[in-house]
């Protein structure tokens, strides 16, 4: 398995797909990387030479924000929103959906499992 920027990329996949295993690189940027280095994106990553891997790693380190730096940047952006107490920051704090989704039903991913609340007792049951 070739290793680029601290990530083992699969050797049985084509190069542009294998590059997408690096956090922060999607289809568009992986094709752009292959094009700028003059690599065939349909070539298997196991067929890449050490020199080509070094060129890919060098390009990614210098031009693209990936892996740890990208995760850190994202966390800093979220903490900034929380600090300034804007609407999105408050939604992050409360663990609710941030981008306008409904919460009356759904949103179980953000809210966690259901917490059942006991219903009101009717007047008839008290008599």
pLDDT tens digit sequence for 47-79: 999 999 999 999 999 999 999 999 999 999 999
Token pair in block for residue 41: 């994106």
Dihedral sign for Cα atoms in the order 105, 109, 114, 115: negative
Is the pLDDT assigned to residue 28 strictly greater than 70? yes
Is the pLDDT assigned to residue 27 strictly greater than 80? yes
Q: Angle of helix 87-94 relative to helix 67-83, nearest 10 degrees?
A: 110
Predicted confidence at residue 117, as pLDDT, reads 87
Q: CA triplet 50, 56, 61: central angle to 5 degrees? A: 125
**Average per-residue pLDDT for the chain:** 92
């Amino acid at each position: 398995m070739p290793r680029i920027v601290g990530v083992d990329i699969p050797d049985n996949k084509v190069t542009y797909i294998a590059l997408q295993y690096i956090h922060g690189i999607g289809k568009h940027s992986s094709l752009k990387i292959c094009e700028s280095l003059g690599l065939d994106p349909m070539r298997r990553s196991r067929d890449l030479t050490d020199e080509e891997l070094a060129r890919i790693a060098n390009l990614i380190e210098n031009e693209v924000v990936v892996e740890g730096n990208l995760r850190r940047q994202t966390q800093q952006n979220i903490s900034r929103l929380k600090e300034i107490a804007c609407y999105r920051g408050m939604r992050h704090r409360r663990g609710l959906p941030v981008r306008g989704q409904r919460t009356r039903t759904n949103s179980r991913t953000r809210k966690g499992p259901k917490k059942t609340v006991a219903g009101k007792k009717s007047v008839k049951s008290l008599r």
